[in-house]
């Protein structure tokens, strides 16, 4: 009995270590209806594959940079919600542009490792591991950095012209948690935040104003 329980725990832990997007059961699966979210896509039925055309597998929405945000970043995430042909293939990608001095603030993807290729520019790029060790340096056009799954990472354009990065994820739904927004923009009890960070209630208020997502207030 005890051995069975141990074996069960062992198998469970193997399962979670190897967990990734499910293997496709067919060549591809273009959802019949356009998904709104990239999660729970398995509940969509695939359209008849003989109706698929080459255009289902080409995405043209990352030819140009978008407008820069206040922190100098423009990012277009590409996943089954805007590129249905990638559904069930276990990957997704992003085009990110950084203005001079622009940043991609510290964040992590709970379900994917990311490789980020610098297409143009000079980027200070790095991540922090679970021992709080930092791995960061400046990388240039043509260099690729890998951000291990679930680890906090960040980028800043330290060159003198705009930069472009192509990031690729080994999940069609990597998830994005931005540290500042998760902590100060989610409504965690103010006293708890004051104690956590050794800040006054005024300082917490100002951080909250800055990071509460606009659509929430």
87 labelled as ligand-binding? no
Q: Tell which positions 25-64 bind ligand NAG, by CB under 6 A.
A: 48, 50
CA distance 120 to 165: 7
153 labelled ligand-binding: yes
Question: Under the criterion CB under 6 A, does residue 67 sit at the interface with ligand NAG?
Answer: yes
Q: Both tokens of residue 190?
A: 């103010």
The token pair at 172 is 């069609």
Query: How far is Cα 122 from Cα 100, in angstroms, rounded to an integer?
Result: 10
Q: For residues 63 and 202, which CB has a smaller minimum distance to ligand NAG in the complex? A: 63
> Residue 50 Cβ, how far from ligand NAG at the closest point, in Å?
4
* Nearest of 157, 172, 163, 156 to residue 109 by alpha carbon: 172
Across the beta sheet with 73-78, the strand order is 73-78, 92-98, 163-169, 114-120, 144-147
Cβ closer to ligand NAG: 26 or 131? Answer: 26
Q: Is 105:48 a contact under the CB 8 Å cutoff?
A: no
Among 39, 66, 170, 176, binds ligand NAG (CB under 6 A): 66
Strand partners, 168: 93, 115
CB distance 157 to 101 below 8 Å: yes
107: annotated binding-site residue?
Answer: yes
Degrees, nearest 5: CA angle 168-66-212: 85
β-sheet bridge partners, residue 108: 177
Cβ 177 to ligand NAG shortest distance, Å:
24
CB of 48 to ligand NAG, least distance (A): 4
Residues written for the chain: 217
Min CB(51)–ligand NAG separation in Å: 6
The binding track of 73-112 with respect to ligand NAG, each residue x by CB under 6 A or -, is: ----------------------------------------
Q: Which is nearer to ligand NAG, 71 or 200 (CB)?
A: 71
Q: Is 104 labelled as part of a ligand binding site?
A: yes
Binding site listing for oxalate: 104, 109, 114
Binding site listing: 104, 107, 109, 114, 153
Q: Could you list the residues that contact ligand NAG (CB under 6 A)?
A: 48, 50, 66-67
């Amino acid at each position: 009995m005890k051995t069975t329980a141990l074996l069960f725990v062992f198998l469970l832990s193997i399962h979670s270590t190897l967990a990734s997007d499910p293997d496709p059961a067919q060549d591809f699966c273009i959802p019949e209806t356009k998904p709104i979210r990239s999660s729970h896509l398995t509940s969509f039925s695939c359209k008849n594959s003989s109706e698929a055309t080459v255009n289902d597998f080409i995405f043209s929405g990352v030819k140009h940079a978008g407008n820069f945000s206040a922190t100098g970043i423009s990012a277009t995430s590409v996943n089954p919600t805007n590129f249905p042909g990638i559904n069930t293939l276990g990957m997704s990608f992003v085009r990110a542009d950084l203005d001079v001095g622009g940043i991609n603030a510290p964040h992590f993807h709970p379900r994917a490792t990311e490789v980020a290729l610098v297409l143009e520019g000079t980027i200070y790029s790095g991540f922090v591991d679970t021992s709080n060790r930092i791995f960061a340096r400046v990388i240039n056009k043509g260099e690729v950095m890998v951000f291990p799954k679930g680890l906090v990472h960040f980028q800043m354009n330290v060159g003198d012209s705009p930069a472009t990065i192509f990031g690729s994820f080994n999940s069609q739904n990597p998830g994005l948690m931005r540290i500042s927004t998760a902590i100060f923009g989610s409504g965690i009890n103010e006293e708890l935040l004051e104690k956590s960070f050794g800040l006054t209630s005024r300082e917490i208020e100002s951080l909250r104003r800055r990071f509460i997502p606009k659509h929430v207030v």
